[in-house]
Amino acid sequence: MSQLFSKANMEALTNPLNLNNPVVVQVLGICSALAVTAQLEPAIVMGLSVTIITAFSNLIISLIRNSIPNRIRIIVQLVVVAALVTIVSQVLKAFAYDVSVQLSVYVGLIITNCILMGRLEAFAMMNKPWPSFLDGIGNGIGYAIILVIVGFFRELLGAGTLFGCQVIPQWCYDHGYVNNGMMTMPAMSLIIVGIVIWAHRAYNKDLQ
């Protein structure tokens, strides 16, 4: 049991949350960070889905890593990810229809997310299943955190709402406050990601 949560394994889980964050340090998965962060809710849904899919595709690839022919490994990884996403979305459609309607837009984005391929190639291909699974969870959550931060600011400043509920009081609008329409544009999420990277590096000197 202590083996399962050894120091190396815990690092696989927690490193991606901060010092090896897939978005702000490795700068992966930026495209989907643009697409789904106009509001907080889809950002969280996307973060959770990526976490689950990364964890399980890492697990599967790690299980079969020794049998994969080197020359077609990327294709094999892609097939595994695509099959997994398709099956998950089919199951959701049958048993949790509302969630699947929300996710349908992101299915394509999950399959092509660079974080998945990055982790499969960099970690799952050369590590045992359990650490790979933890690494998948860690990277997924690391990605979700950034998405939530960006989504929080974009929805708050762009629409004055959080989770669709009005949080900026009418009083402010009456006194001349206006929502920043720029925030609803994808370009602003790049700028917010940039600011997050700046803050993160300013805090972690050894990343500079």
Partner 1 sequence: MAKINTNSNVYTICYAAIMVVLVAFLLAFVSSALKPAQDANVAIDKKSQILASLNVRGLAKSEVEAKYDALIQETCVLTPDGQVVEGADAFEVETKEIGDKYPVYKAKTADGADALVFPLKGRGLWGGLWGYVAVTPDLQKVLGAYFDHESETAGLGALIKEAKFQEQFIGRPVMGEDGKVALTVVKKGASETETQVDGVTGATLTSKGVGEMLLTGIQQYVDALGGGAQPAGECCEQAAKCCDKPDCKCAEKKQCACKDGSCGDPACNCASDAKCCAREECPCATCEKTEPCAKGECAGEAAEGAHKCKSGSDCCKSGKCDKSGSCGKPGCDGDKACCGHK
Based on CB atoms, which residue is closest to partner 1, 5 or 169? 169
Interface with partner 1 includes 180 (CB under 8 A)?
no
Based on CB atoms, which residue is closest to partner 1, 1 or 94? 94
Based on CB atoms, which residue is closest to partner 1, 173 or 198? 173
Number of H helices, E strands in the chain: 10, 2
Interface with partner 1 includes 163 (CB under 8 A)?
no
Stretch that binds partner 1, among 63-71, 122-130, 132-140, 196-204 (CB under 8 A): 63-71
Interface with partner 1 includes 76 (CB under 8 A)?
yes
Residue whose C-alpha is closest to residue 14's, from 195, 140, 203: 140
The contacts of residue 72 (CB under 8 Å, 6+ apart) are none
Q: Please report, as residue ranges, which positions from 127 to 156 form the binding site for partner 1 (by CB under 8 A).
A: 154-155
Which of helix, strand or coil describes residue 166? strand
Please classify residue 62 by burial: count the beta carbons closer than 10 Å to its beta carbon, then call 0-12 exposed, 13-18 middle and 19+ buried.
buried
Q: Say how many residues touch partner 1, by CB under 8 A.
A: 34
Quote the radius of gyration of the chain (alpha carbons, Å): 19
Interface with partner 1 includes 39 (CB under 8 A)?
yes
Interface with partner 1 includes 72 (CB under 8 A)?
yes
CA distances from 59 to 33, 77, 81 (A): 24, 11, 11
The contacts of residue 13 (CB under 8 Å, 6+ apart) are 134, 135, 137, 138
Interface with partner 1 includes 181 (CB under 8 A)?
yes
Based on CB atoms, which residue is closest to partner 1, 93 or 200? 93
- Contact present, 61 and 80 (Cβ < 8 Å): yes
From candidates 1, 3, 71, 187, binder to partner 1 by CB under 8 A: 71
Interacting residues toward partner 1 by CB under 8 A: 35-36, 38-39, 42, 66-72, 75-76, 79, 83, 86-87, 90-91, 93-95, 97, 101, 105, 154-155, 158-159, 164, 181, 184-185
